[in-house]
Amino acid sequence: MIKGGHHSEETKRKMSEIRKHLWQDPAYRHKMKLAQTGKKMSPRSLKHRQKISERLKRQWCDPDYRRRRSSSYKKHKVGGNGEH
């Protein structure tokens, strides 16, 4: 990437394909899982947590959001086809 510039659509597509391919590799997935293990998010104030909670409650009331998220969760269950 050029300093101050942006990736072209073609470059973004290629990068996306590479990442998708990488995540299919169990060894890579394991490596990434280990890299994230033990990392904690910074503490959030009560006010911040309440704002996040309110936003999520509003989002889940939206039928389109609920449908998209539910569909996504089902795809990522064991087996990848929505079967439990």
pLDDT, tens only, 18-31: 999 999 999 999 99
Domain boundaries, the chain: 9-37, 45-77
Q: Which residues contact 74 (CB under 8 A, 6 or more apart)?
A: 82
Q: Please determine, for residue 39, whether its predicted confidence score (pLDDT) is greater than 90.
A: no
Measure the CA–CA gap between 83 and 43, rounded to whole angstroms.
36
C-alpha to C-alpha distance for 28 and 21, rounded to whole angstroms: 10
Model confidence band, residue 51 (pLDDT cutoffs 50, 70, 90): very high
How remote is the C-alpha of 11 from its chain's centroid?
A: 21
Asked if 22 and 28 count as a contact pair (C-beta separation under 8 A), the reply is yes
**Could you tell me the pLDDT band of residue 9, with boundaries at 50, 70 and 90?**
very high
Summarised one tens digit per residue, pLDDT across range 53-74 is: 999 999 999 999 999 988 888 8
**Contact (Cβ atoms closer than 8 angstroms) between residue 59 and residue 53:** no
pTM of the complete model: 0.41
